[in-house]
Structure 1
Amino acid sequence: MITSPIWLPATLLAGAVQAWRTALQRRVSRTLSINGAGLVRYLYGLPFTLLLLVGYRIAFPAPFPVIGPSFLLFCIGGGLAQIIATNLLIMAFAHRNFVVGTAYSKTEAVQGAILSFLLLGETLAPLSWAGIGCGVLGVMILSTGGQRMGPMGFVRALGQPAAITGMASGFFFALTAIGIRRATQTVETGDPILAALVVLVMTVALQSVMQGAWLLWREPGQMGRVFASWRVSGQVGLLSALGSACWFTGFATAPVALVRIVGQVEIAFTMALGHFYLKERIRRSEAAGLLLVAAGVALALASALH
């Protein structure tokens, strides 16, 4: 159920910001371990999430909302799923280029639709499912990295490490969305943005503790490098906070699957960044895949506005 039209601009902005943040995080991953690169988005993002919450409450004064008993559980679950998803995405980048790694992770749209139906009872209109089909087909074309291949070659490509880690990343991102949506539902307030920001601050704080503790235990030498990378990592943290605030707002106000379908516009921004920022070549087949993703987003929007 859509509770506010703000989900649409929030989701579109989230896609743009996340593409930028992921490009920067890939730069960080060249000098840090997978867990070190994952930690920077939470550790450096936490101060910015606090600023967003405080700033919003100053702009829109209201009593602090009542928190439900399962709030912490859903924040931990969603936060842990996001840590795993981010680490898997960074691993996918190591196997293939930036665009291809992101493309595999975007299978989260269809995975999210299935999981949200099974776990939340959310249903979609046929037009939305058509949008999912178009989007996934486009993502699969993008996942080939511009290479021409037959059906069997495509099936073999799905067994490659980049495909496995990318799609696994999408699965855990889908679980993240479900955990965050349930967490926002435990915040008793009529303001979905406030609920999203409260969940965001708690989740990022827990993520900083969870992944920070793991890094200190398993890779203590990485912690110094995390702090030494503050110039780029600070930008990752800022963009992560802004992007997550938008994603969480979308999850608080619309079905998970619908947010994720529209959120596939991130792949367009990803391709632009991959081409202009990381100097990765865009091929004709990738452009065709992008058009299919755009068609999927358009179908989802048509269904939502119907």
Structure 2
Amino acid sequence: MFSIASLWIPFTITAAMGQVARNAMQRQLTGPLGTWGATNIRFLFGFPFSIVFLAVVLIATGDQLPWPTPAFWPWLLLGALCQIIATGLMLLAMNERSFVVTTAYIKTEAIQTAIFGFIFLGDHLTMLKVIAILIATVGVVITALRPGGAKGFADVRPTVLGLVSAATFALSANGFRGAIITISGVSFVTAATYTLVFGLFVQTLVLTIYLLARAPGVLKAILGLWKPSVFAGFMGAFASQFWFLAFALTAAANVRTLALVEVLFAQGVAYYSFKQPLSARELGGIVLIVIGVALLVAV
């Protein structure tokens, strides 16, 4: 039977599709803006859209603007700052020669999210859900690895960078969920959107101050490319809105595991748009992802 609690499934799939679109747009802007400039547009141009989302939600639900408890702010800062740190560590890892292997390590985020969610938020996962998370994660790792990539496992630095990046992404997901569930007296939609507004505000503030101090010319370039940046910012806010709605309804580990369908979207684009054939290894990994995600949704 349908329930509001099960909405986390379509919310997560929508967020994953929005993230694929946002990543594609950010990739196009990396050349003229650099990595951190392209990263900042998702915050700088996404923040105004989050305010619009909140206004629409308040009107639609009839909720009053919430007044969060003091516990909201540490969780929010954990989510916002860890996401920035995780992005930086991921970029460092991907600059290493073991690019594919570190990518595989970063995909252990779902497992680490489950561990941190249990420790810090008391999110309970059944044994079947734990098995589903493990199956899907193994599938992603198999899909990500390439022939000859195994030698990269001997490199300590990219291994550490990849695992720590995954850990900070996991902390970020649980931080945002922790902030959302501290807000009471309003609908889950309002709590999620309110958290999104302040999360993007903190991230915009931090990265903008960083760019002002280290690369002021990048900010000027961002303003010069405001037309494509606006759409990229909208897609970033749109994807984050649905991530947060999903976090409001279920454990972050469930969301981040189902989000692995993003790998399937990417493989589909590579196959149909670029005519890149799938190897037996990739097909095997995709089968494991499908089995893991299907089990997660079913139990």
TM-score by length of 1: 0.86
What SS does the corresponding residue of 1:33 show, helix, strand or coil? helix
User: When the two structures are aligned, how many residues end up with a matched partner?
Assistant: 296
Residue aligning to 2:51? 50
Q: CA deviation at 1:103?
A: 5.1
Q: How does 1:239-254 map to 2 (within 5 A)?
A: 239-254=235-250
Runs of 5+ consecutive residues of structure 2 not aligned to the other structure: none
Report % sequence identity.
33
1:168 Cα shift?
3.3
Q: Partner amino acid for 1:44?
A: F
Q: Is the 8 A contact 1:93 1:101 kept in 2?
A: yes
Q: Which residue of 2 aligns with 1:191?
A: 187
The 5 A counterparts of 1:1-306 are 4-91=5-92, 104-145=105-146, 147=147, 153=151, 155-156=153-154, 159=156, 161=158, 164-274=160-270, 279=274, 281-284=276-279, 285-303=281-299
Counterpart secondary structure, 2:171: helix
Q: 1:24 to 1:167 in 2, by over 3 A?
A: farther
- Note closer, same or farther for the CA distance 1:244–1:202 as it changes in structure 2 (3 Å cut): same
The answer to whether the 8 Å contact 2:61/2:187 transfers is no
Cα displacement string for residues 190-220 of structure 1 (whole angstroms, at most 9, x for unaligned residues): 4111100000001101110011101111122
Mapped partners of 2:121, 2:41: distance in 1: 31
Asked if 2 retains the 8 angstrom alpha-carbon contact of 1:34 and 1:87, the reply is no
RMSD: 2.7
Shift in alpha-carbon separation, 1:19–1:199, aligned structure 2, 3 A:
same
Quote the Cα distance in structure 2 between the aligned partners of 1:237 and 1:274.
25
Q: 1:97 to 1:79 in 2, by over 3 A?
A: same
Contiguous gaps of at least 5 residues in structure 1: none
Distance 1:269 1:98 in 2: 20
TM-score by length of 2: 0.88
Distance 1:274 1:39, change over 3 A: farther
The 8 Å contact of residues 101 and 153 in structure 2, kept in 1 or not, is answered as: no
Deviation at 1:164, TM superposition (A): 5.0
**Structure 1 residue identity aligned to 2:231:** Q
Separation in 2 of the partners of 1:181 and 1:223? 31
Mapped partners of 1:44, 1:198: distance in 2: 17
Once the two structures are superposed, residues 117-142 of structure 1 have per-residue CA deviations (whole angstroms, 9 ceiling, x without a partner) of 12222221111111112111111112
Inter-partner Cα distance in structure 1 for 2:160 and 2:227: 32
